[in-house]
Structures are given as C-alpha cells and as structure tokens.
Amino acid sequence: MQNKRYNGYKSFDYLEPGSDYKPFKLAKELGRVPSRPVEVSSQEEARVKKIFQENLVISLHDHCFVAPENLSEFFEFRRWGRDWMGYEGLSVSGLDGVFDNLMNGTAMITSRAGWKWDDIIYDLGIRLSDIAHQDMVVLATTTEDIVRAKQNGQIAFVVSLEGAAMIENELDRIDILYGLGLRCLGIAYSEGNALGGGLKEKNDGGLTVFGRQAVKRMNKLGIAIDISHSGDRTSLDTIEASEKPIFITHAGARALWNSNRLKPDEVIRACAAKGGVIGIEAAPHTTITEKNRRHSLESFMEHFEYCLNLVGIDHVAFGPDVLFGDHVGLHHTLADALSIKASRGALEYPQVEWVDGIENPAEAFPNIVRWLVKHGYSDSDIAKAIGGNVMRVLKAVWYK
C-alpha cells in the first residue's frame, strides 16, 4: 500500500517513560500472528494499489490503539489513561480516514463500570494531545479535512463514541463533545441508557423522549448517528426520528447468524431507505455464518455480500472494529464490560485465536480490496464500498 508520511513517532514520545507515566510492554503492531494476506496475481495487486491511490479509503469503525502484550495488566494500563496509537501499523494500512472509537466503556480511569463523563473527556483529551505531537494522523472535523489528509499523505482521525451513556440527561453535553471534535455518536451501547435500549436488553422500549431530543440535537450540530449497538426497536425509532441518514458503523446480517450483535433485515433496509450505510464488522466471533462458522475474512465478506444484495452497493461499507494486539484475549479480559455473552449467537462455533486475513488495522483494508478485486468487483463499486458511501453520508450529515 501507499505509505503515509510516517517518521517513526511512537505515542507520547514527547514524555519520559518511568517519570511522566508508567511504561507497559505493548503488543507488536505488525506480524504479531501469521494472519494470511489474500493471494492475488501481480496484475491484480497493481490494480489494488491503483484503487488505493485514486480513491478515498475510510474505515467506518476501528480502535487504532495498541494493547499491552500481557493482558493481565490491561486494567492497570487503562488506569493510566494513556491510549497508545498504532502509528506504525496505520502507516501501511492504506487508510485515508478512520472513525476511531477511543476506549469507550473501557476508559475506566475513575470507575470500573466505564462510560463516565470525566473518563470520556480524559480519554479524548489525552488522545488528541498525542495526535497533536506528530504529523501523520490529523484530527478531522469536516469532509474537507479527510480529502486534504489523503492529498498530504496523512490519515484523518474522526472522533467517535459507540454509546451516549456519558451525557446522562444533559443535552448540552452533546454540544461539548462536538466542540471537542466528536463527529459520530452511538445512541446506546449494549446496556440501555437515557436515550434508548441497547442490544443486551431483553425488553427494548425504543427511543425515549430524551433520546428523540438527542437525535434532533445531533442533527442540528452535524453529528453522525450510530445504531450499531442499539436494540432493534431503538434502531428503527432512531432511523425514523432522524432527519438525516444514519450509520450502522459496525455490524452484519442477523439472517446469516442469529446474534443480537448483528442487524435484522428490517433495520438494514430501513437504514438504507433513509440514505444510510452499514459498515461490516470483523471483531472476533461476530460476523460468522452458518456456512462459515470459523470466523475469517471469508465469513466477514459473506456478510458484506448479503447486505449488498439486500440494499445495494450505495449502502454498504466497512467498519472492521479491529485493533493492534490480542483482540480475542481482550474480549475475555473485558467480557463483562463489553457484554460479550449478550452479543453472541446461541449456536456453537469454533473459537479462533485471531480473525485470519483481517486481524488488525494494518491488514484489514488491503485484504478487503484484494478480495473484492479477486472476486470481480468493478473499480467504481469498490470505490463506493471503501469510502465513497461514507463520504456521501457525511456530506449530508456534517455541518461542513
């Protein structure tokens, strides 16, 4: 892939480890596991590179942090509030923009339960401080920022949060988050909140009165709305209430695997009918299928093709939801905080140590594009799926 203008910077190089913060040994960003690239011919690889050069490549959902190598240290690591960005891995990812969802509910600096206002602000401020001390990744708050990042050999960093629990009953907190750079906000994570129901809830009462006010405020501000972790009723209510298109930033099709973490056809169709987009998810053991129960790039792309056939090429994208480090191990460590059990299907499936072919942000989009080229997709359709559709929605949603 076309390398970005990376100069070797590591997170918090401007500080002194052991004096300004406690250092932890972090996972390798590249080559941590033998995840296999998609095999293509030299001619196909040349076409892949051309597609990356000529089109915007945007991940609708990822966590670009580097996890500690020893995950038993994770909670202490999080207490320090310093999230390491995988700059080296991102430099070869081919990405021009990434919706980064910070540490969300795992920003447990003051609380073991996560999702607290102080923790979210702390997490966001530290990340932006780190970004401000290097030149490859740049904060993006407009569509022009994303275009300019590509032109300059940089990566546009779009601040996102998967749930809105931290705003409690304060609408103006949405304005504050916008002022601090946030441009995409989820209605609810797995647990319900003041806005509506999450996928974990057995009784999803739908979008609350306050939730409808929050949707209206996000529309006015120019914040993209995400329903990836919202319950089905809340998702449909949000789509109906929003005057603008919404995102399902990272999910898949429940028709292929019966899991609350995936969306039913009704929700996917409603999202598309309003002009929205679904980004296909790749976090371990999510986008598996009856045909491909072992999670891999193949099962992930089966969800992509199902959604494409359901709603058309203009309404699909990719939100891999990957990170640098042992993602499976992290899920075990954070099982309660991330409501892992509630988001898995009831059917048995083989456990994997990593999702082969789409293990981290460095390899995700290169392999996605290789797969699409190998399977006969046109350049124009690939361009829509890897960034064009996301930009279309952002131009309709963002203030500028």
Give the DSSP per-residue string, 15-38. S-BTTTB---PBPPSSSSS-PPPP
**Cβ atoms within 10 Å, residue 21:** 13
Predicted confidence at residue 347, as pLDDT, reads 73
The pTM assigned to this predicted structure is 0.96
Predicted confidence at residue 50, as pLDDT, reads 97
Q: What range defines the domain where residue 160 resides?
A: 42-169+247-391
CA 35 – CA 153 distance, rounded (Å): 26
Give all strands (DSSP E) within 285-389, no chain letters: 316-318
Looking at the structure of the chain, the number of domains it has is: 1
- Binned at pLDDT 50, 70 and 90, residue 398 comes out as very high
Evaluate whether residue 77 is within a structural domain.
yes
355, 368 Cβ separation under 8 angstroms: no
Evaluate whether residue 81 is within a structural domain.
yes
- Angle among Cα 96, 102, 103 to the nearest 5 degrees reads 150
Of residues 102 and 132, the one with the higher pLDDT is 132
Nearest CA-CA partner of 390 in 283, 269, 249: 249
Evaluate whether residue 70 is within a structural domain.
yes
Evaluate whether residue 372 is within a structural domain.
yes
In the chain, what percentage of residues exceed pLDDT 70?
97
Classify 281 in phi/psi space as left (phi over 0), alpha (psi -120 to 50) or beta.
beta
Structure tokens at 176: 């504050």
Predicted confidence at residue 329, as pLDDT, reads 93
Evaluate whether residue 110 is within a structural domain.
yes
Evaluate whether residue 384 is within a structural domain.
yes
Span 355-369, average pLDDT: 97
- Binned at pLDDT 50, 70 and 90, residue 2 comes out as low
- Is the model's pLDDT at 338 over the cut of 60? no
CATH of the domain at 128: 3.20.20.140
- Binned at pLDDT 50, 70 and 90, residue 343 comes out as low
Evaluate whether residue 271 is within a structural domain.
yes
One-letter amino acid for residue 310 of the chain:
L
Evaluate whether residue 92 is within a structural domain.
yes
226, 267 Cβ separation under 8 angstroms: no
CA 299 – CA 143 distance, rounded (Å): 32
CA 255 – CA 399 distance, rounded (Å): 35
Structure tokens at 161: 């949060």
Predicted confidence at residue 239, as pLDDT, reads 98
One-letter amino acid for residue 196 of the chain:
G
Structure tokens at 238: 């949000």
CA 219 – CA 389 distance, rounded (Å): 19
